[in-house]
Amino acid sequence: MIRGTWEPRPAVRWEDAFLSGNGHHGAMVYGDPVDDRVIVNHHTLVRPNGSEHLRPPELSGELGPLQDALLAGDTQAAERFGAGRPLVWVQPFHPAFQTRVRRSGTDGLAPQGPGDTAPPAGPESSPYRREVDFTSGETTASSGHWRSQVFVSRADDVIAQRITGLAPAVEVSLDPALPGAPAGLAVGRSTVLTPHGARLALRLRYPDGELSCLGVTTLRAEGGTVSVDGDGIRVTGAQSVLLLTRVRRGLGDPDLEAEWAALPDTGYAELFDRHMPLHRGAFARCAFSLHDEEPARRSLPGSELLRHPDSPALLERLFAAGRYHLLSASGLLPPRLTGLWTGDWDTAWSGAFTTNANLNLQVSSASAADLPEVLDAHTRLIEGQLEHWRDNARALFGTRGIVAPSHSDGESGHTRHFQRAYPLHLWTAGADWLLQPLLDHAAATGAVWESLVSACVEVADFYTDFLTREGPDGSVAIVPSYSPENRPANASWGAVNATMDIAAARHALTAAADLAPGHPDAGHWRSLAGRLPHYLVNEDGALAEWAWPGLRETYDHRHLSHLYPVWPLDEINPYDTPRLAGAAHRALALRGSENDSAHGHLHHALVAARLRDRSRVSSALASVLAGDFFHDSLMSAHYPARDVYNADAAHALPAVVLEMLVQSTPGRLVLLPALPAAYPRGSLRGVRTRFGAALDLTWTPDEVTAVLRPARDVRVELRTGPPPGAPAGAAEPGAASWITLTAGADRVLTVPRREAAGR
């Protein structure tokens, strides 16, 4: 198991700060012995911008004429539906403040340059080292006698920092001066000495006067003296200090504030002991290793390892880092575009939950990688917004049921993104995609909970009311229809029969009928699913993005919305639908990367893995690994050259690794479907399959061995990917074999790879 990553110098940019989190609080740790800063984040910190009061406009009365116009061939008609409304982003996510422990008299120190080493902590200095332990969530930094340790407790919901080997005098403060902070941000402070240290409080108000957040830090010093010093405190002659920090949005009730601010009265070691089992138990469930011939690279700092994009050690570490960051960002809510962290008030795209690809990619490994904590957080986001999703369906489309928005700040689930170029209010497939990871989890565990069934039924209710129009061939027409975030080459963005919408409607109606077979509408749902249009193969032999006559393709785009039936749905696959799988593969081959966004490359890799194309998986991975997408923290960026802090690549990369090694459905297991030739041997432990068995996998150039631990009786079709030496492109599915698994009885499968060509 890869335990963590490290650096030989403090972070200079907040993007390079090491990360810790418990799904509520997040900490960004610089590890500077002269000015030890920790940026404090919390999932609830979103700045009001007026969007929180917006409800979806009443447009359903205009729907009928719009549908008539689109079906009659007016390719611009959808631009009038919701036109004239300003583009309003959701409330932007922002940081709270940073705790600072500075050597006395260092206010005027110039920041260090990227190549500088840390200043010594004292005359007995030793090499500097900053590291984060993925198995515990603890970040540490040390130089000489100085040592700083930080973690965010899952047991006590507090950011804990212990510093030993202090300078003779240090100044401790809560500093709200972070990049992008609004000029009118009002700051209130309170500093109180206590018998063992001090209590610092910081209250922020937005420029409009609304309360932003309240942060509290208690400090306990071992030895020495503590005194008030300006806006902070001065600690002199102490052996160590312990800082415990919490932040909350709003509050204002003195009784609630007092109860919330009662931080634990215990030491660092005891807090850590309570936290460790909760974090380690989750992180350690799944592990990935490549048995390469250059193990020395595993000991390199992350920044140095990133210079070796072809190294198996890099893929190992990024897999571990991705699981660590995904787990750490998920709790109260699932990860935002920035996970749970930001050091800047001006977050790109508001740091939102973006649901037409980004969030879905980030959580896509959670079921297979055995992180139910992530899926619990994902469930909380959905369940907390269902009433708003009902408002969307009624106001925009005049239906029952639910329609998910394309963006959310975590509070509102109302649709408010109206824009000609990205008419995301026309997109109706969001609820199905957001529920899909929960359906995977239900298949893996055998546990189906009432709220999931209810939500699936509400999606089916929406389609029952919405799908009332027909195309020329008598099939149901989905109108208006939108394929995020693309448009036909010869029409506006709002069109008819986007392939993603067809797939989502069919999947949602079928899933509801399967989960609620006794529902009075179950038969109608199945019938309606059967009347949806067939997918269209265009003149290029590719799966068309719109199954409607006359609409032409726009191939150069980062989104792969039309390949939704391949991944994640598995409706189109090489085994059951080989003709359509071939058309999907052609569509993937024709797809450009447009602006080189990380999520586009990894989405490409996920689809390629389902289509058994290890060459495309390898190429897409290489685009990300060699594209300078990762900061020293191993958190990722949206664009190459580490442009725009963004968690898509960091959190989605583990899903790509899993898909190239193991794929499962309730009735099928595929081993090594798209393993790149660069990784001839390795192991994967702790995978959860969708037929209810845990799986451990090892492989060499000669054979693949799977150990299955089934929790229920099941008969499964077994397929194996192409052996070494087979052509690198999309592989033929070959023949299948069948295995019968018995609950509680481990099963060991060993398949010779050289004899399993195409199997």
pLDDT digits (tens, 9 = 90+) for 215-261: 999 999 999 999 999 999 999 999 999 999 999 998 766 766 776 67
Task: Show Cβ contacts of residue 618 under 8 Å, excluding neighbours closer than 6 positions.
Answer: 676, 677, 678, 728
Q: pLDDT digits over 300-328, tens only? A: 999 999 999 999 999 999 999 999 999 99
Task: Answer for the pair 326, 371: CB distance below 8 angstroms, yes or no.
Answer: yes
Burial of 82 (0-12, 13-18, 19+ CB in 10 A): buried
Task: Answer for the pair 758, 734: CB distance below 8 angstroms, yes or no.
Answer: yes
Portion of the chain with pLDDT greater than 90, in percent? 87
| Range scoring the smallest mean pLDDT among 24-33, 79-88, 740-749 | 79-88
The residue type at 600 = G
Angle (deg, nearest 10), helices 450-466 and 372-383: 50
pLDDT of residue 543: 98
Task: Show Cβ contacts of residue 422 under 8 Å, excluding neighbours closer than 6 positions.
Answer: 484, 485, 493
Burial of 61 (0-12, 13-18, 19+ CB in 10 A): exposed
pLDDT of residue 746: 98
| Range scoring the smallest mean pLDDT among 193-207, 486-500, 714-728 | 714-728
Question: What is the rounded average pLDDT of the residues 608-621?
Answer: 97
Residue 179 falls within a domain, yes or no?
Answer: yes
Burial of 85 (0-12, 13-18, 19+ CB in 10 A): middle
Residue 61 scores a pLDDT above 80: yes
pLDDT of residue 204: 95
- The torsion angles phi and psi of 219, rounded to 5 degrees, stand at -120, 130
Residue 188 falls within a domain, yes or no?
Answer: yes
**Rounded distance, CA 495 to CA 114, Å?**
50
Residue 219 falls within a domain, yes or no?
Answer: yes
Dihedral angle over CA of 149, 152, 157, 162, nearest 10: 10
Task: Show Cβ contacts of residue 442 under 8 Å, excluding neighbours closer than 6 positions.
Answer: 448, 449, 452
Both tokens of 175, joined, read: 């500093």
Question: How far lies 672's CA from each of 432, 565, 624, in Å?
Answer: 28, 21, 21
Residue 22 falls within a domain, yes or no?
Answer: yes
Residue 697 scores a pLDDT above 60: yes
CATH at residue 162? 2.70.98.50
Question: What is the rounded average pLDDT of the residues 429-453?
Answer: 97
pLDDT of residue 11: 98
**Rounded distance, CA 40 to CA 342, Å?**
9
**Could you say which DSSP state residue 537 is in?**
B
Q: pLDDT digits over 106-135, tens only? A: 654 434 333 334 444 443 457 999 999 999
**pLDDT class of 757 with cuts at 50, 70, 90:** very low
The residue type at 404 = A
pLDDT of residue 125: 54
Question: How far lies 160's CA from each of 37, 68, 269, 282, in Å?
Answer: 13, 61, 10, 20
Residue 664 falls within a domain, yes or no?
Answer: no
* Listed residue (21, 9, 629, 90) closest to 342, CA to CA: 21
pLDDT of residue 259: 67
Residue 581 falls within a domain, yes or no?
Answer: no
| Range scoring the smallest mean pLDDT among 180-189, 418-427, 620-629 | 418-427
Question: How far lies 645's CA from each of 84, 198, 302, 340, 395, in Å?
Answer: 32, 35, 17, 11, 35
Question: What is the rounded average pLDDT of the residues 664-676?
Answer: 97
Q: pLDDT digits over 594-614, tens only? A: 989 999 999 999 999 999 999
Q: Chain-centre distance of CA 353, in angstroms?
A: 9
Residue 99 scores a pLDDT above 90: yes
Portion of the chain with pLDDT greater than 70, in percent? 96
Report which secondary-structure segment, H or E, holds 229: strand 225-229
Task: Answer for the pair 490, 552: CB distance below 8 angstroms, yes or no.
Answer: yes
**Rounded distance, CA 504 to CA 456, Å?**
12
Strand partners, 46: 93
Strand partners, 199: 192, 218
Cβ count within 10 A of residue 684? 23
Pairing label, strands 25-29, 18-21:
antiparallel
Question: What is the rounded average pLDDT of the residues 346-357?
Answer: 96
pLDDT of residue 256: 62
417: helix, coil or strand? Answer: coil
The residue type at 115 = G
pLDDT of residue 753: 86
**Rounded distance, CA 147 to CA 32, Å?**
10
pLDDT of residue 113: 37
Residue 331 falls within a domain, yes or no?
Answer: no
**Rounded distance, CA 198 to CA 340, Å?**
28
Q: pLDDT digits over 509-541, tens only? A: 999 999 999 999 999 999 999 999 999 999 999
**Rounded distance, CA 638 to CA 600, Å?**
10
The residue type at 716 = V
369 φψ region: left (φ > 0), alpha (ψ -120 to 50), beta (else) = alpha
- The rounded mean pLDDT for the chain is 93
Q: pLDDT digits over 558-583, tens only? A: 999 999 999 999 999 999 999 999 99
Burial of 239 (0-12, 13-18, 19+ CB in 10 A): exposed
Q: pLDDT digits over 190-208, tens only? A: 999 999 999 999 999 999 8
Query: How many domains does one find in the chain?
Result: 1
* Listed residue (744, 690, 699, 740) closest to 722, CA to CA: 699
Residue that has been written with the tokens 């050259």 in this structure: 641
pLDDT of residue 68: 97
pLDDT of residue 580: 98
Residue 759 scores a pLDDT above 50: no
Domain, as residue range, for 120 = 4-46+93-283
**Rounded distance, CA 40 to CA 178, Å?**
11
**pLDDT class of 727 with cuts at 50, 70, 90:** confident
Report which secondary-structure segment, H or E, holds 466: helix 450-466
Both tokens of 696, joined, read: 């451990």
Residue 758 scores a pLDDT above 60: no
- The torsion angles phi and psi of 497, rounded to 5 degrees, stand at 60, 50
Residue 558 falls within a domain, yes or no?
Answer: no
